[in-house]
Structure 1
Amino acid sequence: MLKEELQTIREAIQNEVEGYEFYKLAAEQSGSEESEKAFMLLAEEELKHANYLKELFDKIKKGDDDFQLAFVEEVPSPDIYNWDKVDGRFTGKAMAVFGIAIQLEKASIDFYQKAMENTKVEQAKELYKTLIKWEKVHLDQFTKEYEKYKEEWWADQSFAPF
């Protein structure tokens, strides 16, 4: 692979680590044990992505011929997004966390989309497509949860029904 593709993967690893740190911080500030566990599961998911990318980076850097960039047929999505675990007393915090998470996922999708458009390496394009799928799964889940908490928050503030 070209130097640019390795740089893209390096930046992707950094993005995943930043996501890990964000969710870890959200867990620490969540206000309840259930919410803390839910956010730590998200943090661990980001760390898994970072570790996968690090292993891939190392294989590419070594020049291993046996790796496949089109590695996942389906997007990995364990059942960690059961947000009934988030304590209702902390709706505002949950809404803020999911709002920021949505922006992080959108930025990641844009990052991989640009990388895909700028590479001439077909295997790299397949990798970026897969990474976009991963991020879109998160984006869809976070958007759904954000909307749910927004409705709850509006109701708590007597903004709804109109």
Structure 2
Amino acid sequence: MDELNILRTAILNEVEGYQFYSLAAMRAEDESVKDAFNHLAKEEQQHESWLRKMYRQLSDNQTPTLEGLDVTEAPSPRIFRPGNVGTESGSLEISVYKIGILMEKESMVFYRNAAKEAQTPELKELLQRLAEWEDSHLESLQNIYDTLKEEWWGQQGFSPA
């Protein structure tokens, strides 16, 4: 896949992520869940902006730059802790977290593979950083999902065998 196609796919991935997390935030009843999904939606928009900038630079045959892009390290927002999600979260929130896990995992794999294919050093670095970012999201969402799943099983009167 050439670099512009990689970027087009990545941009669409971020747009889909933004739409999903925005919708999840609107549907969430728990304020901490709503905040977490709004935070993820905002990050997806930021990623899209970075990718669009890189796309414009490469498509205009400019020397790409990461200047102005704060992609130095994946964040660790404190809102992604199981203790920040109320125990009243229901099956909708659990389902949304599971879908988020699947999306983040797929994004992480895509970015890692795309970084291996990229020839432009700046694009390679951006894709590697985005893979790290998605991995951070994946781990956080998985931890919350595991906690909510256990709570839900308890509310249903059964536990895993």
8 Å CA contact 1:38–1:85 kept in 2: the answer is no
8 Å CA contact 1:83–1:145 kept in 2: the answer is yes
Shift of 1:5: 0.8
One-letter code of the match for 1:140? E
Among candidates 25, 47, 53, match of residue 55 of structure 1: 53
State the partner residue of 1:21: 19
One-letter code of the match for 1:5? E
1:24-35 → structure 2 map (5 Å cutoff): 24-35=22-33
Alignment of 1:107 with 2:94, yes or no, is no
**Percent of aligned pairs sharing the same letter:** 36
Shift of 1:66: 6.0
Shift of 1:41: 2.1
Q: Any runs of at least 4 consecutive aligned residues in structure 1 with deviations exceeding 6 A, and if so which? A: none
Q: Distance in 2 between matches of 1:114 and 1:38?
A: 27
State the partner residue of 2:158: 159
Residue 52 and residue 152 in structure 1: after superposition, are their counterparts in 2 closer, same or farther (change >3 A)? same
Shift of 1:46: 1.2
State the partner residue of 1:147: 146
Gap regions ≥5 residues in structure 1: none
Deviation track 1:108-139 (CA, whole Å, cap 9, x = no partner) reads 12212222333344443323221111110101
Give the TM-score normalised by structure 2: 0.83
The aligned length equals 160
State the partner residue of 1:75: 74
Shift of 1:88: 2.7
Shift of 1:85: 4.8
Deviation track 1:37-80 (CA, whole Å, cap 9, x = no partner) reads 33222211211211222122223323333613896332234444
8 Å CA contact 1:42–1:80 kept in 2: the answer is no
8 Å CA contact 2:25–2:37 kept in 1: the answer is yes
8 Å CA contact 1:16–1:49 kept in 2: the answer is yes
Q: Distance in 2 between matches of 1:49 and 1:34?
A: 23
Shift of 1:104: 0.3
8 Å CA contact 1:155–1:161 kept in 2: the answer is no
Which stretch has the larger CA shift, 9-18 or 51-60? Answer: 51-60
Which stretch has the larger CA shift, 15-24 or 115-124? Answer: 115-124
Q: Distance in 2 between matches of 1:38 and 1:131?
A: 19
One-letter code of the match for 2:132? K
One-letter code of the match for 1:55? K
The two structures, once aligned, show a CA RMSD in angstroms of 2.6
Give the TM-score normalised by structure 1: 0.82
Q: What SS does the aligned partner of 1:90 have?
A: coil
Gap regions ≥5 residues in structure 2: none
Q: What SS does the aligned partner of 1:88 have?
A: coil
